[in-house]
With several copies, the nearest count.
Chain A
């Protein structure tokens, strides 16, 4: 396998983090005449050359459909695809490769759990417990499910800092709650939720927990078995892999009990008009031709992350986040949104009464890419009574210069609106 050969070279020489920026071709360009400062990785990260090349190499030399062919290319494609599954398993510490289901992303993973795990067992009056800081992807699937079943969506409150009120969350875990679905890291606020405590409390009451790990995976090192999460969902495109690929981790015992989510090729052992036998785990949950190149890209991204070192990445980002927050606090009229003690890689803010969208435009004009708006977390905006925020988010390739450029561009913004 060309691909794993390449990877082992990488793993052999750990890369200093400052050198990593050069691995990302997307960062080496001018936007509006200025070198790009990319502070929007929480929306989607840039991909390193090794990922882009792994995908292109696969398409050039190894592509065929998986699982179905006796010929060499099909075999190669299957090995690469299944190799990516192994990489994911190891990356998040899952007990078995059968617990790793490829999906389009976090959103699909959560929908899968809502429809396959929850829907068949919900009665009217049952409850789904989430928090007020969730991304729409961890709200809307549950709202749809409630509509379908008569279940009730219960929302645990958050504090002014943007941290979940854990005590209240736990108090809400009564015997009608059928699942607790919480973010690992809030995409709008950066808060890291106290998952161990939450999961322990839920398990104490025999309630399974789904963790939306979309914002956690590129920044923290995850061990689903230590966390004891029942379901853990995340997206490739936020961890330097391509779009269109993501993961649902689920405990085997739970997957076993779930009917398939979609029907089609690959997820069956035998199809008869008088009865069809489903395939083994995890294939039962992967109907149709999967996103093979996406999975291979995800595998390459994991190897890349490992080669840099998850601890180094976390340390670098924490330093940088502290510098970002300090620098923003130095600006008059700034209001930080999301000030929990325990945070990762994201800072939302407001500047005077300038609308975030206007900040975004002026920053973009200076080559600085941030996200503005509700960040798919409208309830968080409602909580603070604001229409949206400006949000700078960090990844391993950012540095202090990026932040200095952001601060300068914010000064320019104030000037225009003075």
Chain B
């Protein structure tokens, strides 16, 4: 029983790592970007997560600023916070690659990305990988990333993870 309990407790600790809890409690770049050039909303009707992401993207494609507001569970908020931290300074095509890699890694299809994308180092985004043991939370972790994708593509509709 000890073993079982330990590994179970480990799963939870993997999901709610210190880094995640820290970003959830004190989200970075939280707020509205008044001079955003791109924005998108992400809604997860299952748990009521509702995030709005704002980006200022320069002519040359560089993401100059990123912010988000809204409310959500620890995982979705931490994910949005980590996202803003990560994409500031990237250009949009790298950010889209990043999006594709994050979303497929969270789902657990490691093989889905080959070539250039295989080489991408997720850095601290790896902290989100604990969701793999919690299939119902994958949507929370990927919500902000879908919003990023749709903001860059200037889709006007809200993204939903349902």
Q: Are chains A and B touching in the complex at the 8 Å CB cutoff?
A: yes
- List chain A positions with a Cβ less than 8 A from chain B: 32-33, 67-71, 74-75, 268-270, 277, 279-280, 283, 354-358, 360-362, 365, 372-374, 381, 387-388, 416-417
A354 to B24, CA, bound (A): 10
Return the chain B residue nearest A354 by Cβ: B74
Interface size on B, residues (CB 8 A): 29
The answer to whether B75 has its CB under 8 Å from any CB of chain A is yes
Query: Is there an interface contact between A358 and B162, defined as CB atoms closer than 8 Å?
Result: no
Known contacts: A67-B162, A280-B160. The answer to whether A387 contacts B46 by CB under 8 A is no
Q: Are B45 and A270 in contact (CB under 8 A)?
A: yes
CB-nearest residue of chain A to B13: A416
Give the distance in Å from the alpha carbon of A277 to the alpha carbon of B157 in the complex.
Answer: 11
Q: With A355-B72, A358-B74, A373-B47 in contact, is A70–B8 under 8 Å at CB?
A: no
Q: Are A270 and B12 in contact, with the CB atoms below 8 A?
A: no
Query: Is there an interface contact between B16 and A417, defined as CB atoms closer than 8 Å?
Result: yes
| A277 with B21, Cβ < 8 A, contacts A355-B73, A361-B15 known | no
A365 in contact with B11 given A355-B72, A416-B16 (CB within 8 Å)? yes
Evaluate contact between B15 and A387: CB separation under 8 angstroms: no
- Give the Cβ gap from A356 to chain B, nearest Cβ, in Å: 7
Determine if B67 is an interface residue (Cβ-Cβ < 8 Å). no
Partner of B46, one of A33, A67, A268, A417: A67
* Apart from A67-B46, A74-B136, 15 more pairs, CB < 8 Å: A32-B8, A69-B46, A69-B136, A75-B135, A268-B45, A277-B158, A355-B71, A355-B77, A356-B47, A357-B47, A357-B49, A357-B137, A387-B48, A387-B49, A417-B21
A128 CA / B95 CA spacing, docked (Å):
49
A360 contact set on B, CB distance < 8 A: 47
Say which residue of A33, A269, A381 sits within 8 Å of B8 (CB atoms): A33
Look across to chain A and name the residue whose beta carbon is closest to the beta carbon of B137.
A361
Q: Which listed residue (B8, B43, B75) contacts A358, Cβ 8 A?
A: B75
Q: Which residues of B contact A374 (CB under 8 A)?
A: 45, 48
> Given contacts A33-B4, A355-B73, is CB(A280)–CB(B162) below 8 Å?
yes
Across chains A and B, the number of contacting residue pairs, with CB separation under 8 Å, is 83
Residues of B within 8 A of A (CB): 4, 8, 11-13, 15-16, 21, 43, 45-50, 71-75, 77, 134-137, 140, 158, 160, 162
With A355-B72, A358-B73, A361-B15 as contacts: A68 and B158 at CB distance below 8 Å: no
Return the contact of A357 from the options B11, B48, B160 (Cβ within 8 A): B48
In the complex, what's the smallest C-beta–C-beta distance from B14 to chain A, in angstroms?
11
B residues near A32, Cβ cutoff 8 Å: 8
Expressed in whole angstroms, the Cα–Cα distance for A373 and B46 within the complex equals 7
Residues of B within 8 A of A270 (CB): 43, 45
Q: With A279-B45, A361-B134 as given contacts, are A416 and B8 in contact (CB-CB < 8 Å)? A: no
Min distance, Cβ B80 to any Cβ of chain A, angstroms = 13
Q: Which residues of B contact A355 (CB under 8 A)?
A: 47, 71-74, 77
Question: Are B162 and A283 within 8 A (Cβ)?
Answer: yes
Question: Do B135 and A279 touch across chains, with their CB atoms under 8 A apart?
Answer: no
**A372–B160 touching, CB < 8 Å:** no
Instruction: Give the residues in chain A near B15, CB-CB below 8 Å.
Output: 361
A160 and B4 alpha carbons, distance in the complex (Å): 44
The smallest beta-carbon distance between A274 and chain B, in angstroms, is 16
Pair A75/B45 contact, Cβ less than 8 Å: no
